[in-house]
Structure 1
Amino acid sequence: MEHLVESLKKLAASRPDDVQKFKVIPNTAHILLTLPDETKFGFLRDNMTKPLESLLRKGPAIQVEAVGITERLCKEIGRATKPEDALVHVDINIYGPQSLRDEVGAVLSGHKLWLQRPDCYRSQYPYSNQSNPHMIIFPDVHGDLVEEEIQKEISPASKPRTAKTKLDKFMEEVHISAEDKENGLENETGDQRLKTPLLMHQQQALSFMLQRESGDIPEQRRLWEKTTKNGQEMFIHRITKTSSPVKVEEMGGGVLSDEMGMGKSLCILALIVQTLDASHAWADQRKNDEHTSSKIRRHSHSSLIIVPSALLINHWLKEIRDHTGDALKTLKYHGPGRERELGALEQSDVVITTYNTLAAEATAKKSQLHKINWYRVVLDEGHIIRRQATTLYRHCADLEARSRWCLTGTPIQNRLEDIGALFAFLRAEPFHSIAQFRRFICAPYEEGKPIAKERLILLYRSLCLRRTKDILTLPGCDEQTRTLELTDDEKRQYAKTTNILDRYMRTQEHRAGGAGYGHYHSLQSWKKTQFGLFQAHLQLRILCNHGTFQKPFSWKKRDMKDEKTAEREAFISELGAGSELLCDGCKAFRPIIGLAAGAQHNFAGDCPHSFCLECLEDFSGLPGLENMRTCPLCLRNGNTVVRADDATDVVMQDADRTESTDRDMHQDAYFNHVGYSTKMEALVEDVKKDIVESKSIIFSCWTRTLDLIAKTLRKEQIEFDRIDGKCLLSERQRIIDRFAAKDSAPVLLMTTGTGAFGLNLTAANRIFIVEPQWNPSVENQAIARAIRLRQEKKVQVTRYFIKDTIEEQMMSQQVKKRQVASFGVVREDGLGAAQEHQEEDAHS
């Protein structure tokens, strides 16, 4: 430990945002890292030794350097309680002449190590894709556009998870082994106050939750095993091998991680109703206790449910009405006018709030929710708190409750520690400490030891319940792809645009070429460029949708704001629901789909901010921000600053024009009044079929495309509703409810991002995907919103792509993209789960 403390002191002497450099030195069986003053810092994992030794033997032509961010290193070392827990992350940068490029690549790939885009590197050696021997080239407009260049516009957590990674396969084996036929779960039909009959898998979920809350757990699901030692009855923990002479209580909650659409919310409501009497008795007993915590003012029988957005509050309120009628007294704890009296909170059966509200109050030290000892706390989409180092996790973990539950269809987003953070939130000793989870689960897994899987199976069997839709009988879906061909006029415009963009890209390549020293390796980073391959792809993809309605591309007449909007919309759509960005309003990492409204909002001016849906909803209720024409955080001349509810400064500015008028005027600058789109014609032709008996959703990632679709539908006198990033949460719910009614508009237009976030779209039986996505999982997320419980009809999915264009090339690259994706499930530290065997960890 003295060595750890000394290293920590030396690192802490630097500025937190400094990049700490380490010397890389071969030393017998390991590669050592030393600080600049020759102090030994740590050693790399064994799998790095041979390849780096081989490269270092090549002399001064190859330079190997380790770098890390000082603040992150300090935090990782500071969390360690003993030397073997001090596992930190560094980047290995390799520099050398272009002539050794392929040789370096062969050495590393021979040891299953792969070079990626740098996070930080020496400025005198600029990085280029051509210098990276592991760059995978994808044929494009002229055979030289690279998939990795497209991905540089996307954050490190954005790679599509379309192929099974090492971690995926590992967890699949865990899930299969954890749940067997003899699972010790009975069929609990539920309390008579529950209006909706439970399906068999929901009955077993209710049984599991009742066991976890009561402690009456069958032997095969217990972590403490009864045994005899030296003639004395003992209890041994199956994983840690800790012993206890008395029976250890196992109770307090768990993780319900059934796949999306299997009715997790109904299971929780069934649990709340069935334990209502017991919760009152518990609260009364706690009130009569002689001792209590100084911060706790009330003890409540209520269940506190925390959800990602106000939209999901509405969803839960509807679920409560549908499934329990008036059996539960419910309180919505959200918005400026929310009820803050502790008495009202204490007396409710269910209190529903959002992560944002919880965090805002706790940060401002005005949290009423933390003054109550709840009977039960439920985290909806519980994987949101998977980063244990965040303030959001701490605010959730600090809540006091008898039982804790996490609902999530994806308990592991991209690393094992994700589920470890949920176990820590549950306070499931000894795994209330993430260090214990790393020691007993993560470390053996990273070392390839089978014991890791055996231990995680035991944890899952005890604390988690996960089933897939395979156990259900759902109508499913039929899928078809329509291959279309541009008209002659569209082909000429497409070819002209291609030539303009290609000429520009070749000019840029010529200007950037020729570095003698190439930077080979480091983490990928998202770097904005003035105009690059990602934007070139966008121009051609949008043209495939709009045909000759779109005005010809011109450098002189480029609308930079409109281009940035299109980039943002495509960027968000490609990331998918599993990725996150920082919300500029609440300063919390929120699901990327949840930031779609902020990123797509087209605020006046060149605004860089993104907001989660909930922050936008809060801002919209303030005087002067009803039309949301100005970014709440951008101060401009003539604006007045007002104070938002307990949290954020926002800006007031009256809109000079209504949104619809502004949109129509901007369309005049973007679209031709007369034109033709092959894709629009095919789409409307398909929508009109069986329109009386069908409900259809049309998805596109671009609001401009939705504008053109809307214009085309109006021409055909087809009624429709629309939801995109500008649609506020409260309005979205009204539109969805209206769409579900039989006598409502038969068509709903949606941006792909909004369709993949927090919506139940079972009213639809036809889905149209207007354009292919680089990340097909985003399409699947949107489709899955319709294929779920209570879907009565088979869903027909129709996709469109244009032959002999970039869209055909996108479709043809799916196999290769899946191969690339298997190396691209990037974890919080920036490294792929499938690449864990190559991660440059230093044991300090």
Structure 2
Amino acid sequence: MEEIEPSMGSNSRQYSPPNDAVDASSSLSQSETFMVGFLVVNVVGLRHYQGTISGREIVGLVRDELNPYDENAIKVLNMRSVQVGYIERFVAAVLSPLIDAGLITIEGIVPKPQGKGSRFRIPCQVHIFARIEEFESVKRAITTGGLQLISENNASFTLSEAMAVKEKKSVIAEKSVDEIFKLLDLKVSNEGMSNALEPPKKIIKSELFSHQKDGLGWLVSRENSCGLPPFWEEKNGVYVNELTNYQIDTRPEPLRGGIFADDMGLGKTLTLLSLIAFDKWNHDANSSSNIDVEGDEGLGEEESIPLLGKKSKRGRGTKKTENSRKKKKVVDINANKVGKIANLEPKTTLIVCPPSVFSSWITQLEEHTRKKTFKVYMYYGERTQNAKELQKHDIVLTTYSTLASEESWEESPIKKIEWRRVILDEAHVIKNVNTQQSRAVANLNAKRRWAVTGTPVQNNSFDLFSLVAFLKFEPLSNKSLWNSLIQRPLAQGDEKGFSRLQVLMATISLRRTKDKGLVGLPSKTIETCFIELREEERRVYDQMEEEAKKIVKGYISDESVVRNYSTVLSILVRLRQICTDLNLCPADLRALFPPSQIEDVKNNPILLTKLLSVLQDGEDFDCPICISPPTDIVITCCAHIFCESCILRTLKQTKPVCPMCRHALQESDLFKAPPDSTQTSPSEGSPSSSSKVAALLKLLSASRDESPFSKSIIFSQFRKMLLLLEEPLKEAGFKVVRLDGSMNAKKRAQVIKEFGIPTPEGGPTILLASLKASNAGINLTAASRVYLLEPWWNPAVEEQAMDRVHRIGQKDDVTIVRLIARNSIEERILQLQENKRVLAKKVFSRRGLKDQREINRGDLRALMNL
């Protein structure tokens, strides 16, 4: 669960914490929310908005903080996100302060109308959810505000239309939610797998593996779907969404796209290029004439795209083409229909990816496609402002940050185009649905949408909501409904939440893993090497942990973990640094801890600066606004950290409050970071002598004796640690290169190229790599051994880094060695990782599930050994 505020409704402004550690500790401090009761209110202002409501229907309630006429405004949207009106002003005046304070979340349902009703107002039930410990204060605030709250001890409570109440009733008139999901599951199971496809040889020169051909078939069938989207049914000429009871007269658009979630290293990029090539071949062929569905007469042999049987093996596609050309369908869709609309539909694909993946797409295009078959435009840095120029290309490549920077620019050419398809590569980047880059991609105009990621669940099931929102998968793209049907049951340990999520993922995603032996990769072995800390390391660690326990215990007891997340982060970072090397920590460790009272911290700029210095040493936090490693770091008077440009822009565009805790904030309340000492070499006279480094050198020497020409990668999250390691490694006779987040894309590419030079030819034997700078979009198959100096909070980040080595192209068996300090926070992080790994696996499993709760504050206690 990624939300900082203890709220889960669609209305409140929620922000992901700046790293997975605090993600754990903040969500960890968040109790489950339960229904306090409901209000019967009116939706007003109907004549000013286009949205309509035709019967009993779930509606979205969205806090409208920037409304110039009412600072407490709450918008009402129907399930297609079209505004219907507003909640009555006097009701909003009571509820909005509670929402803004993170005390409640609200959900709305319009009951079945009695008679014709009014043209100017619609009755609506507003269901209020809060943590149990907040129940009394919430009830008191609502009653004091003059509203009548109908709670469980009120006879009228049974009239509630909330799912939380209806599911407890013994008889439900309508089809139950789980019956609806079971029917969808049955439908998906009956449909079975799509037929495998060959890409057009005129464009794609590489041979696809069998699983890639299967994947291409699935992608093409999804893109050309003509069926009703999930949960929709036609009843007497009217289209009804069974989950929300929303009704329309026009047929809803098919859901064309989905989540392509194959494991990292299985060749998703080539499969996607084959999809674009298939489309281009189809488009070009249809420009002059329609496709002959009965055969491929008139096409060159290389142009033929036959269907493959499910049992076809890799490398046999061409032979099968030659022997069975008479009655081959190009694809299991109405090809003539596609041909007729090809010239009317857009042809350009927009690919959005992190900067580190840019070069990978260029490389893959060069390796797998024939020259001059694709026209590609890189919309990055200096770029055109002409939309027509972009539309001349088959592929436009851009980055998330580029889109985010243009989100408020109405004249952006990206916004003026209706794209053939949008592909989000490394789509887990948008796991926080409230960030600027998430909003920017969600607002793109596209016929087809693909979220591509090998790690769709990094922390918890809410990571998937942002992907569902991007896909426009109505009605679950409405946060209120997602919370009601999936997130809240999950948080409360109800297995219904898991089973619904599994059905949903089976409906819209494709995931295959490397453990199925799909591509015959060499083996991957993960070993854990436990290290005993030296006497001095153990003494400092134990002393630090005792101090840390007192502080964190106080935060937990007074419910202030979220408010003090940066302090909690600094504590956790320091404990982990001691486990790796004492040289990472300054001598005056105690002085780095702020007093337990946040008020003292607010009034101590020197301490704030010092605290920031601590946080700069690690890579394990992002700016909560852009969800990227912060640049020009500032810390607020309320101890929250942002990029300077992000927080200044936010303060200008919205109310002058901290996005994290809503504390009043002015530019004078921001404090600049000290110079980043990690960009320079460590001071002389401080060679690393830690237990871990000694163990690492021993392991590397043994590996060299066994295989002199093998290459190794050493991952650490601390840039300073990479610098500390250079000298002892060189003294031990290793040739070393380094790759970290301080390098630009050109420098990184140069380091990777140098590391690829074979050892006998003078190439490096060791790459010192920053974990986050090397966990996506690069190929490091030159190495066969990987050493992880510290465990990462999020196992998905580690797995991404490992899979830079263990992927298509790797010829040797791969060994991963994790160095873990015994009797320390690192052992407890391993357990936290396992919990997240199990969750991610279960989301895509179709087997029954036992009770599994989301992360709670107990995990923070476990990390601190409380």
TM-score category by the smaller chain? 0.5 to 0.7
Output one character per residue of 1:374-422: Cα deviation in whole Å (capped at 9) or x when no partner: 2221112334445555543443233222222221234445565654543
Output one character per residue of 1:120-175: Cα deviation in whole Å (capped at 9) or x when no partner: xxxxxxxxxxxxxxxxxxxxxxxxxxxxxxxxxxxxxxxxxxxxxxxxxxxxx999
Letter in 2 for 1:478: T
Question: Could you tell me whether the CA contact under 8 Å between 1:93 and 1:521 is conserved in 2?
Answer: no
SS at match of 1:197: coil
Instruction: For 1:548-567, list aligned pairs within 5 A.
Output: 567=615
Partner of 2:810: 791
Question: Could you tell me whether the CA contact under 8 Å between 2:714 and 2:768 is conserved in 1?
Answer: yes
How far 1:352 sits from its partner (Å)? Answer: 0.3
How far 1:452 sits from its partner (Å)? Answer: 6.4
Question: Could you tell me whether the CA contact under 8 Å between 1:283 and 1:301 is conserved in 2?
Answer: no
**Distance change >3 Å, CA 439–CA 18, structure 1 → 2:** same
Output one character per residue of 1:648-672: Cα deviation in whole Å (capped at 9) or x when no partner: xxx9x9x9xx999x834x513x715
Partner of 1:476: 523
Task: Give the one of 629, 639, 642 matched to 1:595.
Answer: 629
How far 1:346 sits from its partner (Å)? Answer: 1.2
1:264 paired to 2:238: no
Question: Could you tell me whether the CA contact under 8 Å between 1:739 and 1:763 is conserved in 2?
Answer: yes
Question: Could you tell me whether the CA contact under 8 Å between 2:529 and 2:820 is conserved in 1?
Answer: yes
Question: Could you tell me whether the CA contact under 8 Å between 1:12 and 1:70 is conserved in 2?
Answer: no
SS at match of 2:743: coil
**Distance change >3 Å, CA 402–CA 771, structure 1 → 2:** closer
1:695 paired to 2:743: no
Output one character per residue of 1:717-754: Cα deviation in whole Å (capped at 9) or x when no partner: 42221111212233222322332343431211012232
Structure 2: distance between partners of 1:13 and 1:321: 48
How far 1:710 sits from its partner (Å)? Answer: 0.7
Structure 1: distance between partners of 2:790 and 2:387: 51
Partner of 1:304: 350
Structure 2: distance between partners of 1:663 and 1:837: 39
Letter in 1 for 2:214: Q
Letter in 2 for 1:197: E
How far 1:701 sits from its partner (Å)? Answer: 2.2
Partner of 1:379: 424
Instruction: For 1:518-667, list aligned pairs within 5 A.
Output: 519=557, 521=559, 524-529=562-567, 533-534=571-572, 537-538=575-576, 540-543=578-581, 567-570=615-618, 572-573=619-620, 581-582=623-624, 587-588=625-626, 590=627, 594-595=628-629, 609-610=642-643, 663-664=680-681, 666-667=682-683
1:714 paired to 2:730: yes
SS at match of 2:405: helix
How far 1:275 sits from its partner (Å)? Answer: 0.9
How far 1:342 sits from its partner (Å)? Answer: 2.9
Task: Give the one of 230, 252, 256 matched to 2:256.
Answer: 252
Partner of 1:315: 360
**Distance change >3 Å, CA 746–CA 761, structure 1 → 2:** same
How far 1:712 sits from its partner (Å)? Answer: 1.5
Structure 1: distance between partners of 2:183 and 2:563: 32
SS at match of 1:595: coil
Query: What is the alpha-carbon root mean square deviation over aligned residues?
Result: 6.0
Output one character per residue of 1:341-363: Cα deviation in whole Å (capped at 9) or x when no partner: 33431111110001211121231
Q: State which drifts further: 441-450 or 675-684.
A: 441-450
1:353 paired to 2:398: yes
The percentage of aligned residue pairs carrying the same residue is: 23
Structure 2: distance between partners of 1:181 and 1:8: 37
Question: Could you tell me whether the CA contact under 8 Å between 2:524 and 2:816 is conserved in 1?
Answer: yes
Structure 2: distance between partners of 1:459 and 1:270: 26
Question: Could you tell me whether the CA contact under 8 Å between 1:8 and 1:77 is conserved in 2?
Answer: yes
Q: Which has the higher contact order (CA 8 A, sep 6+)?
A: 1
**Distance change >3 Å, CA 687–CA 659, structure 1 → 2:** farther
Question: Could you tell me whether the CA contact under 8 Å between 2:580 and 2:789 is conserved in 1?
Answer: no
SS at match of 2:730: helix
Structure 1: distance between partners of 2:135 and 2:241: 49
Q: State which drifts further: 380-389 or 188-197.
A: 380-389
Partner of 2:766: 747
Structure 2: distance between partners of 1:485 and 1:540: 12
Partner of 2:100: 70
Question: Could you tell me whether the CA contact under 8 Å between 1:93 and 1:519 is conserved in 2?
Answer: no
How far 1:469 sits from its partner (Å)? Answer: 2.3
Q: State which drifts further: 434-443 or 552-561.
A: 552-561
1:90 paired to 2:136: no
**Distance change >3 Å, CA 280–CA 534, structure 1 → 2:** same
Task: Give the one of 366, 370, 376 matched to 1:331.
Answer: 376
Partner of 1:208: 218
SS at match of 2:713: strand
SS at match of 1:363: coil
Partner of 1:639: none
Question: Could you tell me whether the CA contact under 8 Å between 1:544 and 1:679 is conserved in 2?
Answer: no
**Distance change >3 Å, CA 466–CA 720, structure 1 → 2:** same
Structure 2: distance between partners of 1:72 and 1:607: 17
Q: State which drifts further: 236-245 or 249-258.
A: 236-245
SS at match of 1:737: helix
Letter in 2 for 1:766: R
Structure 1: distance between partners of 2:767 and 2:267: 24
Structure 2: distance between partners of 1:513 and 1:794: 45
Output one character per residue of 1:248-276: Cα deviation in whole Å (capped at 9) or x when no partner: 76353222122222222211100101110
1:733 paired to 2:737: no
Specify every segment of 5 or more residues in structure 2 that has no aligned partner in the other structure, as ranges. 1-38, 45-59, 74-89, 112-121, 137-181, 290-343, 594-605, 647-666, 841-850, 859-866
Letter in 2 for 1:761: L
Partner of 1:395: 440
Output one character per residue of 1:772-823: Cα deviation in whole Å (capped at 9) or x when no partner: 5566665444223322233222111223356xxxx44346546765698799
SS at match of 2:737: strand
Scaled by the length of structure 2, what TM-score is found? 0.58
Question: Could you tell me whether the CA contact under 8 Å between 1:377 and 1:404 is conserved in 2?
Answer: yes
Structure 2: distance between partners of 1:409 and 1:69: 35
Specify every segment of 5 or more residues in structure 1 that has no aligned partner in the other structure, as ranges. 21-36, 43-65, 97-172, 286-297, 614-634, 637-650, 826-831, 840-844
Task: Give the one of 30, 41, 48 matched to 1:3.
Answer: 41
Output one character per residue of 1:67-125: Cα deviation in whole Å (capped at 9) or x when no partner: 944276899568999988855553444799xxxxxxxxxxxxxxxxxxxxxxxxxxxxx
SS at match of 1:800: strand
Structure 1: distance between partners of 2:690 and 2:249: 82
Structure 1: distance between partners of 2:63 and 2:749: 54
**Distance change >3 Å, CA 8–CA 73, structure 1 → 2:** farther
**Distance change >3 Å, CA 347–CA 679, structure 1 → 2:** same
Structure 2: distance between partners of 1:513 and 1:442: 28
**Distance change >3 Å, CA 556–CA 364, structure 1 → 2:** closer
**Distance change >3 Å, CA 541–CA 564, structure 1 → 2:** farther
Question: Could you tell me whether the CA contact under 8 Å between 1:702 and 1:751 is conserved in 2?
Answer: yes
Letter in 2 for 1:753: K
Instruction: For 1:453-468, list aligned pairs within 5 A.
Output: 459-468=504-513
**Distance change >3 Å, CA 18–CA 234, structure 1 → 2:** closer
Question: Could you tell me whether the CA contact under 8 Å between 1:481 and 1:798 is conserved in 2?
Answer: yes
Structure 1: distance between partners of 2:643 and 2:816: 31
Structure 1: distance between partners of 2:245 and 2:711: 57
Structure 2: distance between partners of 1:4 and 1:212: 41
SS at match of 1:336: coil
**Distance change >3 Å, CA 816–CA 367, structure 1 → 2:** closer
Partner of 1:426: 471
